[in-house]
Chains A and B, each alone.
Chain A
Amino acid sequence: MKQPKASASRRSFLKVSALAGGGMLLSFNFWAQAKPLPGQPLTDAKDWVELNGYIKIYPDNSIKIINPNPEFGQNVMTTLPMIVAEELDVDWQKVIVEMGPHDNVKLGPQFTGGSNSTRMYWKPLRDAGAAARNILVQAAAQTWNVPLEEVSTKQGMLYHEKSGRSGMYGDFALKASAIPLPKNPKLKDGRNFTIVRSAQKNVEGMKIVTGKPLFGLDYAHEGMLVAMIEHPPAFGKKLQSFDASEALKMPGIRDIFSLPLYPENYEQSGFDTRTFNDLLVVVGNTTWEVMNARKKLKVIWQPIESSNEIIAGFRGKTNVTIPAGLENTDEQLAKMAAFANQPAQLLRKDGDPETAFKNAAQIIEHTYTAPFLAHNCMEPVNCFAYVTDEKALLVAPHQAPGWIEPSLSKILNLSPDKIEIQIVRMGGGFGLKAYGHFLTEAAIISKKVNAPVKLVYSREDDMTYGIYRPMYTATYRAALDKDKNLLAFHVKGGGIPEHAVHQNRFPAGAVDNYLAEGWAIPTNITIGAFRAPGSNFNAAAEQSFLDELAEAMGKDPIDFRLELLQRAKEKPVGRNNEYDADRYMEVLKLVKEKAGWNDPANKKYSRGVAAYFCHSSYAAHVIDIVEKNGKPYIERVTSAVDCGIVVNPDAATNMVQGAVVDGIGNALYGGITHKDGVPGQNNFNRYRLIRMREAPERIDVHFVHNDIDPTGLGEPPFPPVFAAVANALYKKTGKRFYNQPFYKDIPNA
């Protein structure tokens, strides 16, 4: 077998550029990652024939599939290559999966978040697999001199039945690589899927259970130093001055200095987060030595002045007010209560809600609150950087490196092709690791000390840095006539510093008179996306309120929702309703059936239900509480989910089970409080996370079977958990739970 010529790889690159479609030329470094991984055959990298950005074939018929998207536990390393393998028609067990380089031209958007991975890569990866299969078939047909239609494939083999000829993909890969990739290759009929919809184990499972270095924090580089940043102890403070003389004498310390994160007048993108701009940096040989030296720093902090920041986000430029002052949770709650009574921004209005409320026989009104939440990824924030005047290498556990590269380019004054960002597995992300401050921090620190540097956040640094889920509140009102018919529905939501109202979601569209309003209070505490942003509170409040409303109307909570959805289906109110009433009803019906909602055998449980739509998917849960050791215990959860085609069913089940446990944990225990700007929780002794004994015994997950292209899964099952917990707790305790975290109102919790 001859080796592919350089020109061939260049041509493959160009072909793939067209295939990837829509991506900007941010960087390219083909062949850069073609190293075999530990435990994989030591094949010679240059003998791999690249058919397109996602597929490489070796002469011995080894198939390598490149995962484009950052992995943070949603299992894309397995799921996405499965989609390619399906259309390529290869034996999944023989596929080698490799994490791709950061290369938006070859590999598409490379963004993990918004439950987007499978949704946005489904079609491109099917196309990539089918197109590669197509050119392999063409190569075989040409070689055998037979009509194209007579060549078939099966599990990495090509066949010409009439003549009895056959060959491996590996035999034809080089020839195929010279054939142009078809633009719209014929895709498989979904009924013939053999890999998609089959349960496949995590391809990195063995590495995980044997402790191989997989994560950003595990990365090592020759001559690498460790850097940590001493950030202000409180939001609303900044660096005034420091005395590092004692700290510099500590063993292993190389340098201590301050420098600004972003230069003056720098225009931030939506992902150029900045909680604190003046960085006080300690650099040393090892993490432990740097941690110790930090204790010897003498720092004077000063109050910030209020300011405005222009953020250039996806939806244009926004002006963000950052007030001065040291905030307190009690005052924040009082402020939210006061704002709730003031006029707010109108988000949606159908019919005449004002009149309906005026004429109501009964008004039901309740207010819900939820605290700031820290992401608490098990792997604290970290990033490796090695920046010189000529180039930059970053090894980043990051959800979307392509969003940060333009910032690095500006700040480091290097063109994008001089910046290589290697994507590594994240020990959790939950939204936090979509933000860019820590990449930029690592890069400017490396540049300053002129050495390879790993920036490490301690758990305390990580938990007290901000980028929290916002603090939220919402007041829900419903107007009933004397016969308990629902006349009007009103949601007025607020938050610090944003509200969570999704005005076009259920029950919008199901009620004649509907009003949605929102308001926000600025803060100097920074916030960011947290698993199902906005939805995670919106669902908690709305689905608790619907439960209380159903009770007031004398209706079963599932039947009540189904009635509203039936109305939204038959005669929808207003425009822009985001959800599909049929799919929404389907998950409710499925969970009702699977949970045995009306089965007398389940009378021993205190049961709560909730459902929600977000990220194009639908989820419903029934939570069953018993008493255990004198307190309520969630013993069993039944979940129904419609996320379209389920690519990897057991992994998807794992994801839903995890979302349920995560939801229970955050609903019961989550929260960051503040006193004089200082977070009240800085580690897991004060920030309670759910542990094994508090997790349910069983979580039964049921997927709606349909042929809809995959929609989101990482986030949709999470938001309705909170309300299902609250509604079940009500059945157990007779008390409604309006304020998260709920454990404060549960005796002995």
Chain B
Amino acid sequence: MSTTTSPESTAQAVRPTDERRLPILHLIAMGAVALVLAAVILAVLGTLSVAGVLILGYVLHLVLAYVYSRIREGRRWAADRVMSLAVIGAFAIAMFPLLSLLWEVVIRGGARVVAASPTPFAFWTSDMSGIIGGADAGGVLHATIGTLLITLWASIISIPVGLFTAIFLVEYADTGWRRTLGKGVTFLIDVMTGIPSIVAGLFGLALFLTFMPADDQSMRMGIMGSVALSLLMIPTVVRSSEEMLRLVPMDLREAAYALGVPKWLTIVRVVLRTAIAGLTTGVTLAIARVIGETAPLLLTVGMVTGINWNMFDGRMATLPTFINQQYRSGSATCLNEQVTNPINGEVYACSVSTNIDRAWAAALTLIIIVMVLNVVARLISHYFSPKTGR
């Protein structure tokens, strides 16, 4: 793509009508003019704001650049200019929600996390038992434990199944009926990738409720959530693992066979070992993906205020459902200045925005977990992948 950057000296030498490329300075100047113009227009209209100037300035820049380039360079190059600007604009549009979201979560959530109520960072070490009304206290310890437990169990279910399915697809589905089965499995994995998360939740619910007595239909427990999540996690694990296993050179397998190594040992010692970095990356990303899933957990694990370590008994709190619940609670009502915890008798200040604050802080907690997983995955693939594969 570097072919279009012709030296400016040649552009100077040719006649003005043949001039193809405007110097970059003109474009920058045009952008500045557009921004100033936008600021002036908005100031006259009385709605001056940074966002407004940027948006109107961008649109003005599109128009100005087209007109100017049309006069100086001709129709085709003008279209090219506008297209380049539009493409960059599209990227900026996509960056806007990402940056705005991260900013809001870090600022609003961070404020609540470090706030001294009752002590700094108590948000990460306390749960919600006895927190009522607008009490400016409480935390996500129970929800974090729930999220980690449920995701752990989902991983315990999904990783072996996903990995062995990938091994089957790569190592065993080569001939005859196994090939046919492999094609079927590939198709079904595609189908599973597209299952809406709420349907996975309904499945987890329906599966367990079918075996429950009729009077116990409101039963919810952690393992139901794990089963629902693994329905979403298995296809991700299979796809990434399959891709990684296929990258292992056939020569390595053949060398092992030639030495008389049995097939299963070849898979364990040669194939899996070669691909281990990629496999770990894929699995970590799959975990990062399901750890933020909300809809299945809404249906299957419910919500509690305290810590529940037992996956097979009773409801559990999780970070995503906690965020949703606090958000739904909306503004609290403060009748008095202070709220008393009925369980341990502690007294907290009352805050109208306490629920929303907790939602932001929990969102920050969740984002930190997800981002750590993503970074870990990147680091693994960066440092441990075989040098030839990159």
Q: Are A and B a genuine interacting pair, yes or no?
A: no
- A interface, CB within 8 angstroms of B: none
